[in-house]
């Protein structure tokens, strides 16, 4: 749709978040709508302004140079990183915090709430003193335990304020829940970009990163921090069901992060976001997938503005969704389920994927109580939730300590 913005410019607007196909979210490639602007520029004699889901300043500069449009309309990229233009001008592109296109900002707006951003905790709170980043009055030694989004945010913010920060991550990679999230079939690679941004900021602010390091009370005592931040995240537990320890039962993270072997017929237990991502990822690769969800709907932990995309993918990929259904037993042949009304049947499966329940990893809060002075907990370690909760809590602790 073309919309005249005064007499001097035409603004190109494409769809809306309720469109039957994606228009503004990360499921749309960042230059998918660019041909519309190019066609409009050839058809009219006044400048064309363009910006829908067009977030990359490098591509924008190239498009402007060849006359694809006359003005880059930047909205959500500025919400994610208000310093975007300054970073471009100073050739600091790797420091631009990427918009992940999850439409959290719109989800809030449609509920008559102030904008917030999944990756920019200050959005909507710019004038509040408790959100202001100031130099630390007393530099401290800070230990951040966990390299997920909350821990990464906390580590570089604390270091930016002048603290000496050590970040320990048990695995060999930073990112935490960003890694399985990157398997989302609709633009999940943006989470890899977000992890790369955090790695850049850790280097810039001289955070000492120790990968493959599990923190114990002994190691904490050896590091001797003034402040410890537990950002250990959550894990998927083996819940009490006969057959849960069979060889063909795997955790969703093992499929999404490590590429664990998977058969052609798959049953995913749990229809929240991690289960949906796993089911869609496998179905897009030709697997026959069934989702088993105890509740009456899928995606209970997915924000409203993105939930419908998962609904569409489930339909398009022909994933069978069994709602109000309980898994009773895992056998060699598949999963015995009890459907609403009490009827039981076997759902054949070569591989059974556990996507529930997510449990917070909280043991270190107890273990470190008498090892360091200040002790905080953030993110999924408090309660399994969404990425934006972890990033916000990481930021608030980072500017507090």
Q: Please check whether residues 148 and 201 belong to one and the same domain.
A: yes
Does residue 304 fall inside a structural domain? yes
Q: Pick the more confident residue, 310 or 260.
A: 310
CATH classification at residue 262: 3.50.50.60
pLDDT bin (cut points 50, 70, 90) of residue 75 is: confident
Domain with 56, as residue range(s), is 2-109
Q: Say whether pLDDT at 5 is over 80.
A: no
Q: Please check whether residues 139 and 170 belong to one and the same domain.
A: yes
Q: Say whether pLDDT at 1 is over 50.
A: no
* Residues paired with residue 330 on neighbouring β-strands, in sequence order: 335
Mean pLDDT of 45-57: 92
Q: Say whether pLDDT at 82 is over 60.
A: yes
Give the pLDDT score at 366.
Answer: 96
Give the pLDDT score at 2.
Answer: 43
Does residue 121 fall inside a structural domain? no
Mean pLDDT of 275-282: 98
Does residue 303 fall inside a structural domain? yes
CATH classification at residue 381: 3.40.50.720
Which of 17, 49, 47 shows the shortest CA–CA distance to 34? 49
Mean pLDDT of 248-256: 96
pLDDT tens-digit readout, 97-124? 999 999 999 888 888 888 899 999 999 9
Q: Say whether pLDDT at 257 is over 80.
A: yes
State the chain's mean pLDDT as an integer: 94
Give the pLDDT score at 110.
Answer: 81
CA pair distance 48, 248, nearest whole angstrom: 56
pTM for the complete prediction? 0.94
Q: Please check whether residues 231 and 376 belong to one and the same domain.
A: yes
Does residue 272 fall inside a structural domain? yes
Q: Please check whether residues 226 and 255 belong to one and the same domain.
A: no
Does residue 114 fall inside a structural domain? no
Give the pLDDT score at 4.
Answer: 45
Q: Please check whether residues 157 and 95 belong to one and the same domain.
A: no
Strand, coil or helix: 105: helix
Mean pLDDT of 359-378: 96
Q: Please check whether residues 202 and 277 belong to one and the same domain.
A: no
Q: Please check whether residues 164 and 93 belong to one and the same domain.
A: no
Give the pLDDT score at 59.
Answer: 94
Q: Please check whether residues 188 and 324 belong to one and the same domain.
A: no
Give the pLDDT score at 81.
Answer: 97
Least confident of 105-109, 201-205, 297-301: 105-109
Q: Please check whether residues 91 and 19 belong to one and the same domain.
A: yes
Strand, coil or helix: 346: strand
Q: Of the candidates 76, 109, 142, which is a domain's last residue?
A: 109
Does residue 352 fall inside a structural domain? yes
CA pair distance 375, 40, nearest whole angstrom: 57
**What percent of the chain shows pLDDT beyond 70?**
97
Residues 6+ apart with CB under 8 A from 303: 102, 103, 104, 107, 386
Mean pLDDT of 181-186: 94
Q: Of the candidates 54, 76, 109, which is a domain's last residue?
A: 109
pLDDT bin (cut points 50, 70, 90) of residue 236 is: very high
Q: Say whether pLDDT at 303 is over 90.
A: no
Q: Please check whether residues 228 and 247 belong to one and the same domain.
A: no
Give the pLDDT score at 360.
Answer: 97
Give the pLDDT score at 3.
Answer: 47
Give the pLDDT score at 67.
Answer: 94
DSSP track, 131-149: G-----SS--EEEEE--SH
Does residue 306 fall inside a structural domain? yes
Strand, coil or helix: 268: strand
CA pair distance 9, 31, nearest whole angstrom: 21
Q: Say whether pLDDT at 22 is over 80.
A: no
Number of domains in the chain: 3
Does residue 129 fall inside a structural domain? no
Q: Say whether pLDDT at 63 is over 50.
A: yes
Q: Pick the more confident residue, 104 or 304.
A: 104
Reported residue count of the chain is 401
Q: Please check whether residues 250 and 285 belong to one and the same domain.
A: yes
Give the pLDDT score at 20.
Answer: 63
Q: Please check whether residues 86 and 227 belong to one and the same domain.
A: no
Give the pLDDT score at 17.
Answer: 58
**What percent of the chain shows pLDDT beyond 90?**
84
235: its two tokens = 């894990």
Dihedral Cα 102, 108, 114, 120, nearest 10 deg: -20
pLDDT tens-digit readout, 134-158? 999 999 999 999 999 999 999 999 9
Mean pLDDT of 326-351: 97
Least confident of 10-19, 128-137, 284-293: 10-19
């Amino acid at each position: 749709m073309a919309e005249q913005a005064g007499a001097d410019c035409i603004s190109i607007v494409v769809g809306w978040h309720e469109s039957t196909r994606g228009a503004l979210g990360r499921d749309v490639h960042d230059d998918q709508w660019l041909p519309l602007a190019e066609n409009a520029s050839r058809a009219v004699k006044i400048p064309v302004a363009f910006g829908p889901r067009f977030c990359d300043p490098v591509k924008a500069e190239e498009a402007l140079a060849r006359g694809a449009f006359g003005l880059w309309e930047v909205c959500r990229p500025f919400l994610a990183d208000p310093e975007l233009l300054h970073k471009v001008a100073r050739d600091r592109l790797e420091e631009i915090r990427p918009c992940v296109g999850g439409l959290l900002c719109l989800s809030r707006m449609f509920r008559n709430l102030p904008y917030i951003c999944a990756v920019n905790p200050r959005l909507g709170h710019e004038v509040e003193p408790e959100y202001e980043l100031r130099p630390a009055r007393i530099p401290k030694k800070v230990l951040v335990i966990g390299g997920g989004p909350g821990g990464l945010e906390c580590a570089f913010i604390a270091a930016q304020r002048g603290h000496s920060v050590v970040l320990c991550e048990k695995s060999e990679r930073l990112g935490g829940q960003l890694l399985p999230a990157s398997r989302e079939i609709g633009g999940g690679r943006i989470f890899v970009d977000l992890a790369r941004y955090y790695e850049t900021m850790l280097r810039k602010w001289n955070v000492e990163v120790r990968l493959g390091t599990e923190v114990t009370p002994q190691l904490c005592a050896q590091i001797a921090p003034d402040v410890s931040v537990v950002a250990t995240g959550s894990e998927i537990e083996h819940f009490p069901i006969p057959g849960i320890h069979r060889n063909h039962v795997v955790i969703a993270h093992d499929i999404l992060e490590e590429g664990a072997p998977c058969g052609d017929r798959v049953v995913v237990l749990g229809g929240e976001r991690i289960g949906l991502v796993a089911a869609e990822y496998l179905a897009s690769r030709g697997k026959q997938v069934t989702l088993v969800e105890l509740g009456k709907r899928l995606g209970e932990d997915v924000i409203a503005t993105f939930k419908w995309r998962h609904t569409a993918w489930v339909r398009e990929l022909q994933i069978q969704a069994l709602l109000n259904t309980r898994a009773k037993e895992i056998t060699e042949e598949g999963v015995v389920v009890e459907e609403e009304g009490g009827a039981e049947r076997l759902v054949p499966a070569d591989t059974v994927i556990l996507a529930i329940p997510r449990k917070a990893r909280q043991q270190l809060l107890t273990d470190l109580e008498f090892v360091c002075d200040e002790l905080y907990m953030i993110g999924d370690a408090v309660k399994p939730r969404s990425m934006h909760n972890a990033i916000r809590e990481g930021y608030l602790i980072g500017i507090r300590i």
